[in-house]
Amino acid sequence: MSILEMYKHIVPFLGAALGKDCEVVLHDLRHPEESVIAIANGDISSRKLGAPATDFILKLMQVGKKRDQEYMTNYYGKSINGHTLRSSTFFIHDEDDNIIGALCLNYDVQHYLDVRKQLDALILMDTEKTLADVVPPASKNGDDHFLGVEISESMYPTVDDAIQHLIQRSLQPYAADAKRLSQKERLAVVEDLYKNGLFVLKGSVYALAQVLGVSEPTIYRYLNRIKKENQNVRG
């Protein structure tokens, strides 16, 4: 029995023990497009078996997967329905110390935030700006980075949702239609998506080419250029 198969057995137990407000998810990171191999209380994020890795995990896979820290606790997460989650992740390693899996706990704290917002409004007597609005969720000890990756997490029911969300997020700074971006702007978009782990997902090059109105070979040329420039900087 593989190590991930052994972890599968504790997912329903944790889901029952921790209650309906806590989603328990086991990821197989060797298959990021369909990494969820066990899940309990999945209605919290609207995910099922076969859902893709989160954006945080994709970025982590992009920067490297060697053992550095065993786990990360109490960081900010967001479900596709907009609920705020308090998330923690335990990383599972193989015999070569590569991260091959992740066991995640996602507490839905949205109802607590809603109550806090109402209390803040009463205390501050200002319904337009409350403490809940101006104080963002923070990870434990104020640490908002892990292995050089910003800690915030969005969760997607399907790999297409993940790809489209990451692409649209990178396009937000540009006022022009995606198909009218200059070559310099397209290159910047591809570089941002590369750093955020988009291209770990199969089908991402095709999807991005469609959105930008260019060919897939053009995206691959941009990627090769970005990888060479990054290697030169490190060198």
The answer to whether residues 209 and 146 belong to one domain is no
Cα separation of 87 and 79, whole Å?
11
Using the 3D structure, point to which of 156, 180, 199 is the last residue of a domain.
Answer: 156
The answer to whether residues 146 and 177 belong to one domain is no
The two three-digit tokens of residue 108, written as one number: 């839905």
The answer to whether residues 69 and 168 belong to one domain is no
Q: Is the pLDDT confidence value at 174 over 70?
A: yes
Using the 3D structure, point to which of 133, 156, 179 is the last residue of a domain.
Answer: 156
The two three-digit tokens of residue 152, written as one number: 């915030």
The separation between CA 134 and the C-alpha centre of its own chain, rounded to angstroms, equals: 23
DSSP letter string, 155-188: --SSHHHHHHHHHHHHHTT--S-GGG--HHHHHH
The answer to whether residues 144 and 164 belong to one domain is no
Q: Is the pLDDT confidence value at 19 over 70?
A: yes
The answer to whether residues 49 and 93 belong to one domain is yes
Using the 3D structure, point to which of 107, 123, 156 is the last residue of a domain.
Answer: 156
The answer to whether residues 147 and 97 belong to one domain is yes
Give SS3 for 75: strand
Q: What is the pLDDT of residues 45-83, one digit of tens each?
A: 999 999 999 988 898 887 765 556 788 899 888 888 888
The answer to whether residues 74 and 171 belong to one domain is no
Residue type, 139: S
Q: What is the pLDDT of residues 124-161, one digit of tens each?
A: 765 454 444 444 444 444 455 544 455 668 888 899 99
Helices H / strands E in the chain, number of each:
9, 8
- Which is more confident, 107 or 149? 107
Alpha helices (runs of H) in the chain, residue ranges in sequence order: 3-8, 10-18, 55-63, 110-124, 131-134, 159-171, 183-195, 204-212, 216-234
The answer to whether residues 207 and 149 belong to one domain is no
The answer to whether residues 151 and 217 belong to one domain is no
Give residue 201's domain range.
157-232
The answer to whether residues 144 and 165 belong to one domain is no
Tally of domains within the chain: 2
Cα dihedral angle (37, 56, 148, 150), rounded to 10 degrees? Answer: -150
pLDDT of 9 reads 92
Contacts of 5 (CB under 8 A, 6+ apart): none
Contact by Cβ (8 Å): 53, 159 = no
The answer to whether residues 149 and 165 belong to one domain is no
List the CATH number of the domain containing 20.
3.30.450
